[in-house]
Amino acid sequence: MRTVTLKRVVVTGLGALTPIGNDVNTFWNNMKAGVSGAGPITKFDTTEFKTKFACEVKDFDVEKYMEKKEARKMDNFTQYAMAAAQEAVLDAGLEKEGIDKTKVGVIWASGNGGMLTFEEQIVEFAAANFVPKFNPFFIPKLICDIAAGQIAMKYGFMGINFCTVSACASSTSALVDAFNYIRLGKANVIVTGGSEAPVTRAGIAGFNALKALSTRNEDPEHASRPFDTERDGFVMGEGAGAIVLEEYEHAIARGATIYGEMIGGAMTCDAYHLTATHPEGMGARLGMEQALEDAGITVNDVDYINSHTTSTPVGDLSELKAIVAAFGDHVTKLNISATKSMTGHLLGAAGAIEAIACIKATQEDIVPPTINTTVLGEGIPTNLNLTLGQAQQRTVNVAMSNTFGFGGHNAIVVFKKYK
């Protein structure tokens, strides 16, 4: 029987393009400061829309990352991916000589892919009386996997390459897959993460139809209010997060900077409802328990949980029920924070930027805040440290990130301080 010795997996590069910062340092500093990225939508006329605000990426200059002619071949979600991946690749030094690019992979996520591309082409199709004269780049710009391919083509990475799609759990699923491929020895390095560009007419109208979005149009900055009695839905976000995962010995041999260590991950399903989380958080609890087992640690080792919490009446409560059930008495010793209160919900890219927040928390021993929560909602436990209002200094040796998606998808990852 073949035996496999699992390899250590470390983080050697980070990249971010978010509503609160177009690079990792700006993103993290604004997150620690409790800055909201919400504001009126600028991408289209919202007159007829129930929700008129979102957390948009600001001052994005695509020519910092590629020529205009190349950008025209990409949907926004791919442009965002290229931006975040560039920061992470350069941060990790993967562009340098001596890297075996046949052992460098890309596992990139998007829950929705080229929404704007699809929307604009169908509008043109209808305007032309449905004469089928489509742009030849329609399909290549639209498909979810194209970002992974574009990143690989830019840098010549010839290893494992695919896209994960599990709604809002997509980029956390990508992290789990990348982690497993590396520790099984199938790759030396994987650029992983996710990107999303859902601030479009179809994106906003579609989630409005589900009654999922906040309609606090008069006060966008305070609309994402996790755990609060007045929470009324999530705030749409957009952007990308990139993380370079690398086999430990490979990283040491080439003198890479190591930001943290990924030690566990798990994916489960609620098997309950199309869009709603299980009311008792059964799938989420199972995922957290499996992630801890995978990491070889106990609940007592965890210091911080970056919760999925999106500011919805049902979802926020069910996740806390799952955390309480999974962590038992230790739950009151944890810090929990809901950083979507600042970034909005980046859907398939949410897990990537929240994983970066966990990694930075272990580096700096600081937990980013949950903002906008003034009065805890009915059923929200009052004995939990939800990191309300401002960041908190504390030792963060181990951090967990939860992400959950439509279809009942749950993905959880665990990071440890690198020593």
Q: Which positions are catalytic?
A: 168
Sign of the CA dihedral running 28, 409, 295, 179:
negative
Q: Which residue stretches of 219-312 are H helix?
A: 248-253, 282-295
With contact defined as beta carbons under 8 Å apart, do 77 and 258 qualify? no
Which residues, in sequence order, are CB contacts of 2 under 8 Å at separation 6+? none
Helix (H, G, I), strand (E, B) or coil at 400: strand
Q: Yes or no: say if 170 and 406 are a contact pair by the CB < 8 Å rule.
A: no
The C-alpha angle with vertex 304 and arms to 54 and 232, in degrees rounded to 5, equals 30
How far does the chain reach from its first CA to its final CA, in angstroms?
A: 34
Let me know: does 172 contact 233? Beta carbons within 8 Å. no
DSSP state, 160?
-
CA gap 228, 23 in Å, rounded: 30
- 124, with CB counted inside 10 A (0-12, 13-18, 19+), is middle
Query: What 8-state DSSP symbol labels residue 44?
Result: S
Amino acid 221 reads E
Q: Which amino acid is at 132?
A: P
> Which structure tokens are listed for 66?
């590629």
CA distance 146 to 165: 12
157/78 Cα distance (integer angstroms): 17
